[in-house]
Structure 1
Amino acid sequence: MLAIFPLVVLLLALTGRARSATDQVLDVDGNPVRAGIGYYILPAHSSRSGGLTSLSRSGSCPFNVVQADSGLDQGTQLTFAPATGKKEVRLVTDLNIEFLSVNHCGSSAVWKYAGVDEATGQRFITLGGTAGNPGPATVSNWFKIEKEGDHYALVFCPTVCESCRVVCGNVGIYSENGSQFLALSDPAFPVKFRKA
């Protein structure tokens, strides 16, 4: 009976380690996605359109997050910053997403949920968010990555503020004037991550 106890402890330890490894977000090469490193977010399935970048809907600020028109365009490099401060990006963890080498309107390139657009009723993802400082003042700047079958999906449903009431939603695509804008909608836009 005593010989079984160490075996049970070993099995529980291995099971726990396997479970924690499965919630890592992986890039297209099967490597863990890491904070502070440049990546491209690309459509998970073959598409005529490319990766994610930024564009102004109105010709002025703020700039929106959009899918590039050409499938040959990987989009703009971006980085992830989990609220936990850890280096590995994990599923269903609050994180900031920020385009690298982008400076529109003198504001940040951190993604944020912009609320409901009165003209269209859409809930767009724009730039101009605040990096870090999880809490009520930055609640609109936190996104999550979820696993959807063989691909990933981006979700807005921050938990960095327990007292805040947020509208959760999948990050999908809204087509307008030939451009593919990211907005909270169903279905979620299936994505994958490629290290820059």
Structure 2
Amino acid sequence: MIPALVLTFLLTTLSAATPPPVFDTDGHPLYTGVQYHILPAGGGGGLTLACPFGVLQSDHPASLGLPVTFSPALGGGHGRSIDVQIATDLNIEFAAMTICEQSTVWKLGAFDHAAERWFVGTGGVKGSPGRSTARNWFKIVMVSDSQGKWGQGLFKIVFCPSICTGCHVLCKDVGIFVDGDTGNRRLALTDFGPLVVQFRKA
């Protein structure tokens, strides 16, 4: 029999090691298999897809964009829904019918030398965490204000995969890059000003 003191210690340790969940705009945890809209906290349209490979912010302020689903690298298995946790590796996938031929799983594209940016696109592989899929994994992290206080329900998306031991990867926030030629607001890695978002259940 495990002594009560030891059992309490084990439960406390396991609880402390479990990352907190990501919350939607209603204050409920995000769950796998449920569709959500990713909405910029500062206003503007939601996120959408432009074939063949671009993830964009809609130029229509009232648009919610396309819904997405989240699939953690360490899933529940057997179709069991689990909550989406802070700072854990996730696949993000547009959950909508499109005319795009490639998958709608988010993926970090190749470096664009003309724009000098790493753009977020689609065409990724869902699941199979490892070296060959490292570009397909993103994380959701809470954001804080200038005084270090955590915002209520405010998050940012980061690219910093930890599913591949020994891989050399970038660790940067996902922000918005405005294309000077087209005016498109493309998701790209940034060192300055992440895109702060909220999640609304679709």
TM-score class, shorter-chain normalisation, is: 0.7 to 0.9
1:102 touches 1:109 (CA, 8 Å); kept in 2? no
TM-superposed CA distance for 1:100, in Å, is 0.9
2:19 touches 2:87 (CA, 8 Å); kept in 1? no
2:147 match: none
C-alpha distance in structure 2 between counterparts of 1:78 and 1:172, whole Å = 18
1:36 touches 1:80 (CA, 8 Å); kept in 2? yes
Cα RMSD between the aligned structures?
A: 2.2
TM-superposed CA distance for 1:7, in Å, is 8.7
TM-superposed CA distance for 1:184, in Å, is 0.1
Structure 1 runs (4+) greater than 2 angstroms displaced: 5-17, 19-22, 102-105
Runs of 5+ in structure 2 lacking a partner? Answer: 77-81, 145-150
TM-score normalized by structure 1? 0.85
Runs of 5+ in structure 1 lacking a partner? Answer: none
Q: Percent identity?
A: 41
* Residue from 12, 22, 27 that aligns with 2:24: 27
Secondary structure at the aligned position of 2:134 is classed as: helix
**1:83-94 mapped onto 2 (5 Å cutoff):** 83-86=73-76, 87-94=82-89
TM-score normalized by structure 2? 0.83
* Residue from 151, 162, 166 that aligns with 1:163: 166
Distance change in 2, residues 1:131/1:121 (3 Å): same
- Report whether the alignment pairs 1:182 with 2:192: no
- Report whether the alignment pairs 1:115 with 2:105: no
C-alpha distance in structure 1 between counterparts of 2:61 and 2:185, whole Å = 13
1:154 match: 157
Distance change in 2, residues 1:92/1:105 (3 Å): same
Q: Say how many residue pairs are matched.
A: 184
